[in-house]
Amino acid sequence: MMCSLKMVSPRPPTTLFGLQRQITANGDGFPTFLPKEVKDIKDPFARALAQKIVRIPVPLQMENFRGCVMSSCIKPTVQLPDKSPVVLLHCFDSSCLEWRRAYPLLEEACLETWAIDVLGWGFSDLQKLPPCDAASKRLHLFELWKTYIKRPMILVGPSLGATVAVDFTATYPEAVDKLVLINANAYSEGTGALKDLPKSIAYAGVKLLRSFPLRLLANVLAFSSPLSENIDWTNIGRLHCQMPWWEDAMVNFMISGGYNVASHIKLINHKTLVICSENDQIVSNQLSVKLLCELQNAVFREVPDSGHLPHVENPKQFVKLISDFASGKLN
């Protein structure tokens, strides 16, 4: 059902930004900052969402970096000031294209929806590379929220994105209204021994991570889909790996130690929806149950007929959960 509320298109934050999106679209409708391989993607939902990706300037002031990062995201087409905006993060080493099937349904459900690329992944302009450790990712998200969103949000994180959401909420509780944690990978202890690797070996490992066979294997584990669809979804999932800064950003994150948020979980008192998938082959459902028990104010739902990414495999059921949670129907 289409949203029947009166919607107001958001104004671009600056005139320059409004112009940038128009002049960077190429003949296929894709922004020119996307890798050329975007034209080979067949999934119509991914192609449509890729055409909506923009870059917005986000100020960053850190010890080793001062400046603006042109940060990739998908902005909402509507503003609903009386509702909390929904802000979508993504999994480890992914992009906002992960939301290709759920994003249109979220907007149809009358939810003001952002999909944001976490610093160091996605399609931002990082030719001048800032630090990409957990603290920098957190600060970048906060500065984006403070500059553009400006209201407590419903923060949605799948897999490692749930870890990013917990880390952010523990530090900036005022920026979050509610949390949605999907097949949460919140108990991992950072990047482990990888942080101690010599840089040459770390770069070799990152090159392997970008390889098509390894990515295809990950997709086979994540989705129960035909091979032809898995091949296309693999190309979608590794598109951001073609960005010229990607290897450096990945190595930077790897040797930084990554995320370790287990001690934060019991401190979170925000209303939280814990979602797990019926057939997740990557993160154990027992970890979702553990998360439910440790959070102060959480509800639990399972998405049937889906693997690690229910927002891709069963988007209608997923969006219904988000919509009901946003409106207070889930208790």
pLDDT in tens, 195-213: 888 889 999 999 999 998 9
In a domain, 26, yes or no: no
The number of C-alpha atoms within 13 Å of 48 and in the hemisphere containing its C-beta is 9
177 classed as catalytic: no
Q: Is residue 43 part of a domain?
A: no
Task: Give the model's pLDDT for residue 120.
Answer: 97
Residue of 95, 159, 288, 306 marked active site: 159
Cβ atoms < 10 Å from Cβ of 129: 14
pLDDT of the residue at 31: 97
Structural domain of 231: 55-327
CATH number of the domain encompassing residue 63: 3.40.50.1820
The residue ranges of the chain whose pLDDT is under 50 are 1, 4-23
Question: Are the CB atoms for 310 and 325 separated by under 8 Å?
Answer: no
Q: Is 4 an annotated catalytic residue?
A: no
Task: State residue 256's pLDDT score.
Answer: 93
Catalytic residue among 90, 240, 270, 308: 308
Are the C-beta atoms of residues 240 and 289 closer than 8 Å to each other? no
This prediction has a pTM of 0.91
Residue 73 lies in a domain: yes
Chain-centre distance for alpha carbon 158: 7
How many whole angstroms separate alpha carbon 149 and alpha carbon 27? Answer: 31
Number of domains the chain is built from? 1
C-alpha dist (Å) from residue 260 to 148, 160, 162, 295, 306? 28, 11, 12, 16, 27
The pLDDT of residue 16 is 36
Task: Answer yes or no: is 312 within a domain.
Answer: yes
Residue 16 lies in a domain: no
Start-to-end CA span in the chain (Å): 24
Task: Indicate which residue of 280, 288, 306, 311 is catalytic.
Answer: 280
Pair 193, 166: CB distance under 8 Å: no
The 3-state DSSP class for residue 91 equals: coil
* Model pLDDT, residue 25: 57
Instruction: Tell me, yes or no, whether 50 lies in a domain.
Output: no
Identify whether the C-beta of residue 158 lies closer than 8 Å to the C-beta of residue 89: yes
Residue 162 belongs to a domain: yes
Q: Is 211 marked active-site?
A: no
Angular region, 209: left φ>0, alpha ψ -120 to 50, beta rest: alpha
- In the prediction, which pLDDT does 97 show? 98
